[in-house]
Structure 1
Amino acid sequence: MTATFRNPILPGFYPDPSICRVGDDYYLVTSTFEYFPGVPIFHSKDLVHWRQLGHVLDRPSQLDLDGTPASKGIYAPTLRYHNGIFYMITTFVVSQTGERKNFYVTAADPAGPWSDPHWLKDAPGIDPSLFFDDDGRVYYTGNRVPPSGQQYPKHMEIWMQELDLETKQLIGPKHSLWDGAVKQAHAQEGPHLYKINGYYYLLIAEGGTGFTHAVTIARSESITGPYEVCKMNPILTHRHLGQNYPIFNVGHADMVETQNGEWWMVCLASRPYGGPYRNLGRETFLVRMQWENGWPVVNPGKGIVEMESRRPDLPERRWPTQPACDSFDGEQLDLRWNFLRTPRGEYWSLTERPGHLRLKLKPEQLSETANPSFVGRRQQHLSFAARTVMEFAPQREGETAGLVLLQNNDFQFRLEYGIWEGKTRIRLTERRQGEERVLGEQELRAQKLYLKVEAAMQAYSFYFATAAEEWQLLVQDADGTILSSDVAGGFVGAYMGLYASSGGQASDSYADFDWFEYTEIQS
């Protein structure tokens, strides 16, 4: 029986994957947008099982996300290795209409520490990549508006310029390389350049990162072109399969050759459920490819990404499974936890009360483009249960703490305990398009409070208890589609986590969380 693996290899909000191999080790990074730390980095021996080593951008000196709107921030990193040094290059999208700033960082060890950013001057566009040529020269590729102007909406081109590693700046002329395989496909982006058997291959994404996303390729005997377009383009897409197919918006790929001579591609895609809704965001998938007549053929005989496929010809290497329950017993937060924007102020602690995560109430709220007292992790399954236990004694009106599910500042669920109209209550608030609605509440006084959400696909039910496992239903089957970017807009997947707010005022209050548990619910 042929051994197989299951996609996605990184479930949940892990988009724009980039991969490189060093010997028999594989490393992979993904986008993080407004979340901190930025750019998780993973390690694998077999391309199927991955463990997180850390984050590339884990210091405020590397990543200042103050005021960064939802779905802006860190876009599309590329990871490369050359002469003992790892390079990660990416775009920082400052605001909705503001500057796109490209930079790279380096490290001798992929687990870090990584350098502070080397900001590149006069590097327009997004999705930068680096290519190290045989002659020792290094090249930057990215996308930009064509110098001659856009011929249709979102018309972009891929451009290239040499990078001087000594001055850490772009030098020499800019070269226009290619504006895609399909005219008016739009949003030509995500370029990666490779040299294989004497040809330079330019792999890009086209069609936008939604349903019409696609992977296309061109090649040239000269790095500056002209580039010959592959007649089989797009070499990978699912846009022809319809919106009911279980994997869609496939694109933004990177290629890697194994030490055994096999070729594989990582790409982003989504798993819609309950309609064309993608609560988990864009995830990382793996698909086989091979070369025929000088061109790549993706998943020969099928041409699509599958949920289950034959494994790579590599020795299997599993990592220890991560615990479903985080008891907050360590000195550092687990790598799965993130903050909204760069954390400012010492508002969380694992040491003030050992064995607990203490969140101090901050004036900032989840409805703002701010850094609230929030510690979150990704939703990674279509159906799941998440629960926690909290000790919290609100002192005044507006002080709240609890369990939240978040798409962005305008689309979220908040299961909170706090004071409203002078009374302590447990309350579930739905925030949709910036408007808030109380879906359920109950007057309650509790020194210790258990909170739980269970999601059966798009039906999210919320519970509370004052004693372990004595759950009371607060709201059943709330509409979970507000956690999808298809409703909320943007590019990120759903998060869940722990939250404490003083509602815009100063406060000395805090909430202590003893543990947090997340498990998949098998359908």
Structure 2
Amino acid sequence: MTELEPILAGFYPDPSICRVGDTYYLITSSFEYLPGIPIHSSNDLVTWTPIGNVLTRPSQIAEHAGYPSAGIFAPTIRHHDGEFWVIGTDVNGIPLGQGHFLLRAADPAGPWSDPVYITGAIGIDPDIAWDDDGTAHVTWCSLNPGQPGILSAPIDTATGEFLAPPRELWQGTGLSFPEGPHLYRIDGWWYLLLAEGGTERGHAATIARSRTLDGPFESAPQNPFLSHRSLPHPVQNTGHADLIQLPDDTWAAVHLGVRPRGQSPGFHVNGRESFLVGIDWVDGWPVVDEGRFSIPPTNGSFKDRFDAPDLDPRWLGVGRFPASFTRHEVGGGLIIDAAAGEGRALLVARSTDLVWSATTTFDASSGTGRLLVRIDDRHWYGLTYDGTSVEATLTIGPVEHTVGRWDAPAPIAPTLRIRAKKPRPLPHGISLEPDRVELSVLADGAEHIFGEFDGRYLSTEVAGGFTGRVFGIEAVSGQIRVHGVRYDANAEDDSAE
């Protein structure tokens, strides 16, 4: 059994990849968080560097209520005719009939164009591919009750209008939820790759081919060609893959997966992550080689004292762009304004490690602030500081409970700390929980620990949805001035600065 490490750890699902020369570019879903669609680059497929986000301004995507697991679904990135293209779905726009959106850029780091909407394609998980004549074809998972399934249509990329009516392609092998289509033109064939089985334990990648887009599509004899379903593998839910050809004419694929821990059914807390496998072509079909690439463990540690006027792209808002409720403080620090956020003054970043510590110190003389770790609005643990005391709170579904209170020795601003710690194994070696989340406060060299709490309640298996844990700072009321944030990977016994 291979111990696979992700190439992008943490909440980076639905990877899509393209290559220009020796450089690869990868994007992932972002759901309710803004800016949207993070983009990374790599020269070796193994180590990846964030270069920004695709959706960075309200003219590309409107700020919204931040409903859990809404927003941006499964975008695709491609390079064609000297330009980068991204096509995706904003599910918040589906009731408005906006369908998918298409953007382009000369530089993948941006800026990206405003969207062109493909109004006739109502659904999710769109792909774009060009035929030998240069015509663009959009393929998607249709949500139209009158024409469900995997559809494809040629489009005018300048207007988003169909050039011909949508046609049905291959609908998969019969597993549930055929989605995530990617269409490729390879050696005279059209290959159609799908995700099937749902994005849970039955997830799989399947593929079919046809000489023409009119079909019929022939299913690969070894389908699904990628899946860990019913296997005792530490990485589960594998699927939603995208193929890439390397400069030496070998192939690879990126795909999503999760790393569940704890007792059955297993709980994954950092969300769906991005993984890499090798691909061999055997008799015209892709065969996965999971051991081809050696992926080093990632370490997401960082310190941010907000010295620069612009925020690092790691920082996100829930349905709102951080620029709408934060501002840089001259001399360092960051103001988070609850009134400007209109109830969404929450600045977060992805937790990318299995064991980690996050600390912050902020001035609460003009408001109340909170350090928290969350899956969504109904599943979070946090520490709230109002200038005089700190309260530790657990929110699990409809239940919100304060587990302790600590009075601050004025005028010292305490350091708030959240730690995700290893689970405690039982005598038979299995742990009940995926991890333990510790809430504590430090001041004058002393530490007050409110307790360690079961991490399964901040997992996707409990909360539902498609995202993973993020941590961050919220202005609950008024304004707070954040002095800095420190995130330490593998910090089981660290002490805060």
TM-score higher than 0.5: yes
Q: 160, 164, 168: which one pairs with 2:160?
A: 168
Aligned partners of 1:349 and 1:147: how far apart in 2? 45
1:511 CA displacement: 1.5
Q: 410, 423, 446: which one pairs with 2:410?
A: 446
**Number of the residue aligned with 1:367:** none
- Kindly indicate whether the alpha-carbon contact (under 8 Å) linking 2:374 and 2:471 is maintained by their aligned counterparts in 1: yes
**Number of the residue aligned with 1:53:** 51
Aligned partners of 1:428 and 1:200: how far apart in 2? 56
Aligned partners of 2:491 and 2:300: how far apart in 1? 18
Q: Deviations over 1:340-399 (max 9, x none)?
A: 11238843122x3421122123386xxxxx7511111001111111111222125xxxx5
Instruction: Structure 2: state its 5+ residue gaps.
Output: 423-434, 493-497
User: Secondary structure, in 3 states, of the residue corresponding to 1:404?
Assistant: strand
- Kindly indicate whether the alpha-carbon contact (under 8 Å) linking 2:460 and 2:467 is maintained by their aligned counterparts in 1: yes
**Number of the residue aligned with 1:414:** 382
Report the residue type matching 1:450 in the other structure. T
Aligned partners of 1:393 and 1:60: how far apart in 2? 32
User: Secondary structure, in 3 states, of the residue corresponding to 2:461?
Assistant: helix
- Kindly indicate whether the alpha-carbon contact (under 8 Å) linking 2:302 and 2:486 is maintained by their aligned counterparts in 1: yes
User: TM-score, normalising length from structure 2?
Assistant: 0.90
Residue 272 in structure 1 maps to residue 253 in structure 2? no
Residues 129 and 54 of structure 1, relative CA distance in 2, 3 Å threshold: same
Residue 362 in structure 1 maps to residue 326 in structure 2? no
Report the residue type matching 1:475 in the other structure. F
Aligned partners of 1:99 and 1:416: how far apart in 2? 41
Q: 141, 155, 179: which one pairs with 1:189?
A: 179
**Number of the residue aligned with 1:152:** none
Q: 249, 258, 277: which one pairs with 1:261?
A: 249
Report the residue type matching 1:43 in the other structure. S
1:101 CA displacement: 2.4
**Number of the residue aligned with 2:427:** none
1:82 CA displacement: 0.5
Aligned partners of 2:228 and 2:96: how far apart in 1? 32
Aligned partners of 1:53 and 1:345: how far apart in 2? 18
**Number of the residue aligned with 2:484:** 515
- Kindly indicate whether the alpha-carbon contact (under 8 Å) linking 1:392 and 1:511 is maintained by their aligned counterparts in 2: yes
1:407 CA displacement: 0.7
CA RMSD of aligned residues (A): 2.4
1:122 CA displacement: 1.2
User: Secondary structure, in 3 states, of the residue corresponding to 2:166?
Assistant: strand
Residue 17 in structure 1 maps to residue 7 in structure 2? no
Report the residue type matching 1:326 in the other structure. D
Aligned partners of 1:176 and 1:84: how far apart in 2? 30
Aligned partners of 1:434 and 1:98: how far apart in 2? 31
Residue 204 in structure 1 maps to residue 194 in structure 2? yes
User: Secondary structure, in 3 states, of the residue corresponding to 2:99?
Assistant: strand
Report the residue type matching 1:283 in the other structure. E
Report the residue type matching 2:320 in the other structure. T
Report the residue type matching 1:161 in the other structure. A
Aligned partners of 1:341 and 1:75: how far apart in 2? 14
**Number of the residue aligned with 2:238:** 250
1:322 CA displacement: 7.4
**Number of the residue aligned with 2:357:** 385
Aligned partners of 1:357 and 1:52: how far apart in 2? 22
Residues 6 and 357 of structure 1, relative CA distance in 2, 3 Å threshold: farther
User: Secondary structure, in 3 states, of the residue corresponding to 2:125?
Assistant: coil
- Kindly indicate whether the alpha-carbon contact (under 8 Å) linking 2:301 and 2:487 is maintained by their aligned counterparts in 1: no
Residues 30 and 14 of structure 1, relative CA distance in 2, 3 Å threshold: same
Give the number of aligned pairs.
475
Aligned partners of 2:257 and 2:231: how far apart in 1? 13
Aligned partners of 1:140 and 1:81: how far apart in 2? 14
Aligned partners of 1:237 and 1:267: how far apart in 2? 10
Q: 429, 450, 455: which one pairs with 2:420?
A: 455
Aligned partners of 1:100 and 1:80: how far apart in 2? 22
Aligned partners of 1:74 and 1:292: how far apart in 2? 35
User: Secondary structure, in 3 states, of the residue corresponding to 1:171?
Assistant: coil
**Number of the residue aligned with 1:426:** 390
- Kindly indicate whether the alpha-carbon contact (under 8 Å) linking 2:304 and 2:486 is maintained by their aligned counterparts in 1: yes
Aligned partners of 2:352 and 2:359: how far apart in 1? 15
Of all paired residues, the percent bearing the same amino acid is 38
Q: 63, 66, 79: which one pairs with 1:65?
A: 63
Instruction: Structure 1: state its 5+ residue gaps.
Output: 150-155, 300-304, 365-369, 503-508
**Number of the residue aligned with 1:302:** none
Aligned partners of 2:48 and 2:403: how far apart in 1? 39
Aligned partners of 1:426 and 1:289: how far apart in 2? 53
User: TM-score, normalising length from structure 1?
Assistant: 0.86
- Kindly indicate whether the alpha-carbon contact (under 8 Å) linking 1:428 and 1:438 is maintained by their aligned counterparts in 2: yes
Residues 345 and 22 of structure 1, relative CA distance in 2, 3 Å threshold: closer
**Number of the residue aligned with 1:334:** 312
Residues 258 and 361 of structure 1, relative CA distance in 2, 3 Å threshold: same
Q: Deviations over 1:212-267 (max 9, x none)?
A: 1100000001122110011100000111215xx31000010000010011100000
